[in-house]
Each structure stands twice: as structure tokens, then as C-alpha cells.
Amino acid sequence: MWGSLILPAFANASLGAVNPADVQQWVAQLDSAGYAPATIRKAHQLLGRIFSDAVQAGLIVRSPCHNITLPRVEASEMRFLSPDEIGHLADAIDSRYRAMVLTAAYTGCRFGEIAALDIDHYDPNRRTLRIERSLSEVRGHLSFSEPKTPAARRAITIPTWLPQVLAEHINTYPASSDGLIFTAPEGGPIRRNTFRSRFWLPAVAD
């Protein structure tokens, strides 16, 4: 955001030379260029923090980012699948990820939590999953991290039929060397963008 949205517009401007009209024009240009309202708001928020710091440091009197009209973020209606629809989606996706779709649907886990799930955090006898980490990808690099809040670290009880589904999955697609239950076709952790384009979106379309 800093390099692609803010610097091109303000790199050569001194702090005191930027006025609200400049910021409003910048917002309008981003909107005309097709950037999403949420992206524009985040960029404006970052620029605002910079000018707020400048005010606190006594470098300028007031921030030019106040009272700027920003594009509205339209809340999209959430789609909740019925049990039949979940079953159809699980059957439509590559068989390698059928159990993953069902596990995600009936536990409410986020993608990063499901992708990070390993054998050590799954107890089929007690029918529980322990969510204690998440998988994320930043600039092409995959990493595991602990949940951001205490509430995100939790134990989830799964339906009585799901351990059989997971058992069949693990038997067909053995866990990776580091214990991951759901893995990429070539082995190792699943990359979200690759999974989305290669498997998820085609299954949704079907």
C-alpha cells in the first residue's frame, strides 16, 4: 500500500504542503482507477497515521486527512450452505480435499486453521480438534503462527460421523512428514491462492 498507492502521489511533497484537497483528489483518483473501497480506506488510514504522527511531533498544525469523503464499503450478504449443499460441494471438489471441505464446514475453522491441522492436534477417540496455530503465506513464504487472541485457541467437538471420513482421508492421503492432515498434491502445506484457483473455484462453479 505504501509503495504502490501512497508514494506515487506524495513522495515529492513536504508534509506541510499537503492539504485536504490534495488528499481528496488522491482518494478520487484511486476510486477512478478501480481500487476496492476497502483498499482505499486502508490506504487513507495509513496516510492518516503518518500525518497524525507529524502533528504530535509538532511538524504540522493539523492533519489534511480529516473530513475526507471515502467510498462506501458495501456489505456483501453472507451465503450459508445447507447440509445438502455442503455435501454437493464436497463431492464436486477433488477427492483429496473432500474431507477438508467437510471438516471446515462442520467446525467453522478458517482456512489457515484447517491447513495447519496436524495429527497431534486431532483426537478421533474424543472427536476433538485442537486449534493452536494457523498457516499463512506472506510474499510467497509459508509460516505457522499462534492464534492472535486467546479465544482463537480452542478445542472443537466434531460430528460423530466425521472421524470415519478423516480416517478414510488419512488412509488414502497419509499425513506429511510434519504431521499435516491436509496437504498439497505435491506434498507439504497447502498454499491458499493455489488451492483457491486450482480446486476451490472450479468446485464452486460445478
Cα–Cα distance between 50 and 15 in angstroms, integer?
A: 9
Nearest Cα to Cα of residue 65 among 47, 41, 81: 47
Encode pLDDT of 69-114 as tens digits.
999 887 777 788 999 999 999 999 999 999 999 999 999 999 999 9
pTM value? 0.66
Shortest CA distance to 183 belongs to which of 127, 123, 142?
142
Beta bridge partners of 157: 128
CB atoms within 10 A of CB 18: 20
Give yes or no for residue 129 having a pLDDT over 80: yes
pLDDT band at 138 (very low <50, low <70, confident <90, very high): confident
CA dist 143 and 152 (Å) reads: 18
Q: Which of 102, 80, 82 is nearest to 93 (CA)?
A: 102
Residues in the chain: 206
Phi first, then psi, for residue 176 (nearest 5°) are -70, 175
Element (H or E) spanning 46, and its range? helix 37-56
**Lowest-pLDDT range, 27-31, 109-113, 145-149, 173-177?**
145-149
pLDDT at 171: 97
Strands (E), the chain: 122-123, 128-131, 134-138, 141-145, 154-157
Above pLDDT 70, what percent of the chain? 100
Phi, psi of 128 (to 5 degrees): -130, 145
pLDDT at 152: 86
Find cell 503462527 and name the residue. Answer: 145
DSSP for residue 5: I
b (16+ CB within 10 A) / e for 56-68: eeeebeebbbeeb
The arithmetic mean of pLDDT across residues 187-198, rounded, is 93
Least confident segment among 115-129, 140-154, 156-170: 140-154
State whether residue 180 is helix, strand or coil.
strand
Compute the average pLDDT of residues 3-12.
92
Average pLDDT over residues 178-201: 94
Q: What is the CA radius of gyration of the chain?
A: 23
